[in-house]
């Protein structure tokens, strides 16, 4: 009977079928209080996440079994990637990784054009590496997705969330009908090594619009069918989050010791990387011990980087604020900061001199004056700081100390 109903459902027009799915969906009525959701911060937590990811992916044919029993990808190396876990006591039973956009790009960049989504300085991230132990799958998925949503909106300031979904399992129907993801291009990719050559399609959710969509479709529903209340209004005591200071969006855990352990000792992930991936990671980790391990692999392949100079430390943030340009007040978003510059995105033209006021977390404002020195094809501009108040340099000093602490930890 279930097979017959499924076949009949598939005959419906897509809009009717998705409306039917939304009318039936409900948050599982189970007690999740024994589960703690948190950032994977220790080597043991990362290894547990990579282990259940390996077993899950092998089980559904998304990868072949490997001797290490771990699935570790180049994107897990990034300090900007966030690996989330669900734990019952000391056992890791669920995981999901949020891959932030970087010089390495996103996995879906390998077969889809994301340039339109990046316009205007929009921040992109791709959800990947989702795995839940079999006995928890039916009751934990929505809670894991809710935890991910809160990370993306409150801690990472993501505008567009990307998902690469297998088409042979019709996983995309869940994301489209229940979560309102949309196809980026109506293109099925069959030659995608990241999924073990299972056919996939890339979709995205505009997180700036998601809250309104959930409110329109779910807020009138009762109880467990009200996904708007579940995702947006309800607070979960078993969700753990790190302290967020000075608008940061980075929560690094992959120090040089963990990098060496997972990418050279436990697996061959580093030596398996492409030249493009190695060069991108070498640039990202310039000045850290990670770069030495990467350079060894490059040299073994007779690849030598030319004119790689130490780069000025830049710290990613997300600050929505205002500025005065030509005696007009405009809105802008600060994307990263450094000792002598900032990167911004704005819908308004920034010509030369800019006076910016940035709200401080503990009250008051930071005030800086800067001038534009470059602008890219995405509408993002780089400004050089002409002058700034003392509070601004206190914030910069905080980031420099944090970065220096990471370097000292890596070398100790």
Q: What DSSP line would sit under 188-212, residue for residue?
A: -BS--GGGTT--EEEEEEEHHHHHH
Q: For position 13, what pLDDT does the model report? A: 86
Q: Residues 154, 113, 295, CA angle at the centre, nearest 5°?
A: 80
Listed in sequence order, the residues at least 6 apart from 51 whose beta carbon sits closer than 8 Å to its beta carbon are 69, 70, 92
For 235-258, give one letter per residue: b (16+ CB within 10 A) or e. eeeebeeeeeebbbbbbebbbbeb
* Cβ proximity of 281 and 294 under 8 Å: yes
* Cβ proximity of 139 and 32 under 8 Å: yes
pLDDT of the chain, 412 residues: tens digit per residue? 556 666 667 778 889 999 999 999 999 887 778 899 999 999 999 999 999 999 999 999 999 999 999 999 999 999 999 999 999 988 999 999 999 999 999 999 999 999 999 999 999 999 999 999 999 988 899 999 999 999 999 999 999 999 999 998 888 999 999 999 999 998 899 989 889 999 999 999 999 999 999 999 999 999 999 999 999 999 999 999 998 888 899 999 999 999 999 999 999 999 999 999 999 999 898 878 888 999 999 999 988 765 555 556 789 999 999 998 888 899 999 999 998 899 999 988 788 888 998 887 667 788 899 999 999 888 899 999 999 988 888 888 888 887 665 554 444 4
How far is it, in rounded angstroms, from Cα 248 to Cα 319? 9
Q: Which DSSP string corresponds to 334-390? A: EEEE-SSEEEEE-SS---SEEEEEEE-TTSSEEEEEEEEEEE-TTSEEEEEEEEE-H
Q: For position 8, what pLDDT does the model report? A: 65
The structure tokens listed for 405 are 């602490």
Q: In what order do the strands lie in the sheet with 35-39?
A: 35-39, 82-88, 91-100, 124-132, 160-166, 200-206, 182-183
Q: For position 411, what pLDDT does the model report? A: 44
Per DSSP, 172 falls in state H
Provide long-range contacts, Cβ within 8 A and 24+ apart, for 67-72: 68/266, 68/267, 70/262, 70/266, 70/267, 71/129, 72/262, 72/263, 72/266, 72/267, 72/269
Residue showing tokens 């899950």:
56
Residue showing tokens 């002598």:
340
Q: What is the dihedral of CA 102, 60, 28, 31, to 10 degrees?
A: -80
First to last CA, the chain: 63
How far is it, in rounded angstroms, from Cα 124 to Cα 152? 10
Q: For position 206, what pLDDT does the model report? A: 97
How far is it, in rounded angstroms, from Cα 391 to Cα 398? 11
Q: Which DSSP string corresponds to 139-169? A: HHHHHHHHHHHHHHHHTS--SEEEEEEETTT
How far is it, in rounded angstroms, from Cα 109 to Cα 184? 12
Neighbours of 73 (CB within 10 A): 21
How far is it, in rounded angstroms, from Cα 132 to Cα 137? 6
Tell me whether residue 96 is exposed, middle or buried, using C-beta atoms within 10 angstroms of its C-beta: 0 to 12, 13 to 18, 19 or more.
buried
Q: Which helix (H) or strand (E) holds 48?
A: helix 43-59
Q: For position 311, what pLDDT does the model report? A: 58
Q: What is the dihedral of CA 236, 173, 81, 265, to 10 degrees?
A: 110
Q: For position 350, what pLDDT does the model report? A: 82
What are the pLDDT digits (tens) for 200-233?
A: 999 999 999 999 999 999 999 999 999 999 999 9
Q: Give, to the nearest 10 degrees, the angle between helix 207-218 and helix 137-154.
A: 130
How far is it, in rounded angstroms, from Cα 70 to Cα 129? 12
Q: For position 408, what pLDDT does the model report? A: 47
Q: For position 381, what pLDDT does the model report? A: 93
The structure tokens listed for 307 are 């004119």
Q: What does pTM read for this prediction?
A: 0.93
Helix ranges (DSSP H) in 222-377: 227-228, 256-260, 275-284, 289-300
């Amino acid at each position: 009977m279930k097979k017959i109903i499924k076949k009949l459902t598939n005959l419906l027009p897509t809009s009717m079928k998705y409306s039917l799915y939304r009318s039936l969906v409900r948050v599982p009525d189970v007690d999740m209080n024994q589960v703690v959701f948190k950032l994977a911060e220790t080597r043991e937590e990362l290894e547990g996440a990579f282990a259940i990811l390996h077993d899950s992916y092998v089980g559904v044919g998304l990868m072949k079994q490997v001797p290490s029993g771990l699935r570790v990808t180049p994107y897990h190396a990034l300090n900007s990637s966030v690996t989330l876990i669900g734990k019952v006591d000391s056992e890791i039973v669920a995981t999901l990784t949020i891959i932030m956009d970087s010089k390495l790009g996103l996995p879906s960049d390998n077969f889809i054009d994301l340039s339109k989504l990046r316009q205007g300085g929009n921040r992109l991230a791709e959800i990947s590496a989702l795995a839940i132990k079999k006995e928890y799958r039916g009751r934990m998925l929505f809670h894991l997705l809710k935890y991910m949503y809160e990370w993306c909106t409150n801690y990472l300031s993501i505008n567009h969330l990307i998902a690469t979904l297998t088409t042979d399992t019709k996983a995309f129907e869940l994301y489209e009908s229940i979560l309102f993801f949309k196809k980026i291009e109506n293109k099925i990719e069959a030659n995608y090594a990241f999924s073990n050559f299972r056919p996939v399609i890339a979709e995205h959710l505009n997180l700036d619009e998601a809250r309104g969509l959930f409110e329109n479709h779910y807020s009138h529903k009762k109880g467990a069918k009200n996904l708007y209340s579940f995702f947006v209004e309800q607070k979960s005591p078993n969700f753990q989050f790190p302290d967020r200071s000075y608008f940061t969006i980075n929560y690094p855990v992959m120090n040089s010791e963990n990098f060496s352990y997972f990418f050279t000792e436990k697996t061959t992930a580093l030596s398996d990387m492409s030249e493009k991936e190695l060069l991108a990671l070498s640039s990202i980790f310039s000045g850290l011990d990670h770069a030495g391990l990467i350079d060894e692999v490059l040299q073994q392949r007779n690849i030598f980087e030319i004119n790689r100079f130490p780069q000025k430390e830049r710290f990613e943030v997300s600050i929505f604020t205002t500025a005065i340009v030509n005696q007009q007040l405009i809105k802008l978003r600060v994307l990263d900061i450094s000792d002598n510059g900032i990167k911004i995105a704005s819908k308004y033209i920034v010509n030369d001199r800019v006076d910016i006021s940035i709200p401080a977390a503990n009250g008051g404002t930071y005030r800086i004056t800067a001038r534009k020195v470059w602008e890219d094809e995405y509408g993002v501009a780089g400004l050089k700081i002409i002058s700034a108040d003392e509070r601004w340099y206190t914030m910069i000093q905080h980031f420099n100390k944090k970065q220096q602490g990471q370097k000292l930890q890596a070398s100790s």
